[in-house]
């Protein structure tokens, strides 16, 4: 094709422009072949990456808790039952181990005691020491039984009095009790047996004083028991009926010590306090007490004077009358004495 040079030049430029335009369009199409990434997708991807990174950093406990949370209820229950069963078994094992240890300790203690008893049988000194302990316990039981009987009688409680005397009568002498105690023990047992069968307060008082006299005679013949039963200083003299009664309560204990010891000083202290605080002179006695109670108070005051002049062998009888009078008065006034 022919033409002017200008036309040819324009044609050439046009063709080149078309060629360049086709190349550009092809490149853009190639670019557009990839899926377009929106902002929303980018945010979602970033969030997923962040979660994955967070899961990676989470402690194992948190991961497990999250996993447990997503577990079905049945699995959770089964796992809980399994744990409870394991705990129960562990607790059972621990208890069994404790029981086994306790049983072992008990056996070891028993073996040790048996070994000690066996040694005591072969060791004369050890045997003598064990015998002395048994005899001391036996004597303490006698004193406890008689004191309980005395307290019950002061209250006017015949049932408890008889129980204590029956207990005293049933005591068996342990091996090793000195032979010289035999006659006194026999007399005391007879008095205790009589006390178990009494019908009234005077009979009970007589049985009690007889048993106490047997103990005192034995103490006097074999050892000095007076230091055991000291009762201290008497309450101060007051201006109320209560203060007078408290002094008589103290005197009753001191008289008991004087009988049981025997202890001359204790007996003298007791009757001194009684004579210093006669019940008939107690503030309010005449206004508050019945005629019967006032007569019994006069009897107590008379016994205080008799006790002051009594010989040692007469004291158990005086004491018996004193206790019987106290019991009768408490019964008449329907009171239960305290601090016996």
Q: Among the three residues 183, 204, 223, which one is the final residue of a domain in this structure?
A: 223
pLDDT at res. 32: 42
- CATH number of the domain where residue 152 is located: 1.20.120
Same domain, 173 and 274: no
pLDDT at res. 24: 43
- Residue 289 in any domain: the answer is yes
pLDDT at res. 1: 45
Contacts of 132 (CB under 8 A, 6+ apart): 176
- Residue 105 in any domain: the answer is no
Same domain, 233 and 269: yes
Counting residues of the chain whose pLDDT is more than 70, the rounded percentage is 66
Lowest-confidence pick of 2-11, 199-208, 268-277: 2-11
Residue pLDDT, tens place only, 182-238: 999 999 999 999 999 999 999 999 999 999 999 889 888 887 555 555 567 899 988
Average pLDDT of the residues in 304-310: 95
Alpha-carbon distance values, 57 to 50, 52, 64, 65 (Å): 11, 9, 13, 15
Same domain, 198 and 280: no
Q: Are 271 and 304 in contact (CB under 8 A)?
A: yes
Residue pLDDT, tens place only, 7-34: 665 666 666 666 555 544 444 444 444 4
Cα-Cα-Cα-Cα dihedral sign, residues 182, 185, 191, 196 = negative
Say if residue 44's pLDDT is above 70: no
Domain count along the chain: 2
Same domain, 269 and 218: no
pLDDT at res. 33: 42
The boundaries of the domain holding residue 240 are 226-340
Q: Rounded to whole angstroms, how far apart are CA atoms 136 and 126?
A: 15
Q: Among the three residues 223, 241, 262, which one is the final residue of a domain in this structure?
A: 223
Residue pLDDT, tens place only, 67-118: 555 556 666 566 666 776 767 776 767 777 777 777 777 776 766 666 655 6
Residue pLDDT, tens place only, 138-180: 989 999 999 999 999 999 999 999 999 999 999 998 888 888 9
Same domain, 177 and 279: no
pLDDT at res. 176: 87
Question: Does the model's pTM come out above 0.75?
Answer: no
Q: Among the three residues 223, 249, 266, which one is the final residue of a domain in this structure?
A: 223
Q: Are 156 and 189 in contact (CB under 8 A)?
A: no
């Amino acid at each position: 094709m022919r033409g002017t040079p200008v036309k040819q030049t324009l044609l050439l430029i046009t063709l080149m422009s078309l060629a360049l335009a086709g190349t550009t369009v092809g490149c853009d199409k190639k670019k557009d072949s990839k899926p377009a990434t929106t902002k929303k997708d980018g945010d979602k991807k970033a969030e997923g990456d962040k979660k994955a990174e967070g899961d990676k950093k989470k402690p194992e406990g948190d991961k497990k808790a999250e996993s447990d949370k997503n577990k079905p209820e049945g699995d959770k229950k089964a796992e809980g039952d399994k744990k409870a069963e394991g705990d129960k078994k562990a607790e059972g094992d621990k208890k069994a181990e404790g029981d086994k240890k306790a049983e072992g300790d008990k056996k070891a203690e028993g073996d040790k005691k048996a070994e000690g008893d066996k040694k005591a049988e072969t060791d004369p000194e050890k045997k003598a020491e064990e015998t002395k302990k048994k005899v001391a316990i036996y004597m303490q039981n006698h004193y406890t039984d008689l004191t309980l009987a005395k307290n019950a009688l002061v209250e006017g409680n015949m049932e408890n009095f008889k129980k204590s005397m029956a207990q005293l009568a049933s005591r068996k002498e342990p091996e090793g009790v000195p032979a010289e105690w035999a006659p006194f023990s026999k007399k005391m047992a007879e008095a205790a047996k009589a006390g178990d069968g009494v019908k009234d307060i005077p009979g009970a008082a007589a049985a009690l004083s007889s048993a106490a006299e047997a103990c005192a005679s034995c103490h006097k013949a074999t050892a000095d028991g007076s230091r055991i039963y000291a009762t201290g200083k008497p309450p101060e003299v007051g201006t109320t009926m209560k203060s007078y009664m408290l002094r008589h309560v103290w005197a009753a204990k001191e008289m008991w010590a004087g009988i049981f010891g025997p202890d001359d000083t204790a007996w003298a202290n007791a009757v001194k306090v009684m004579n210093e605080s006669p019940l008939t002179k107690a503030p309010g006695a005449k206004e508050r007490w019945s005629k019967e109670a006032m007569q019994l108070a006069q009897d107590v005051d008379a016994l205080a004077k008799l006790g002051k002049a009594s010989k040692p062998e007469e004291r158990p009888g005086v004491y018996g009358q004193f206790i019987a009078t106290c019991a009768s008065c408490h019964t008449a006034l329907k009171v239960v004495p305290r601090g016996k």
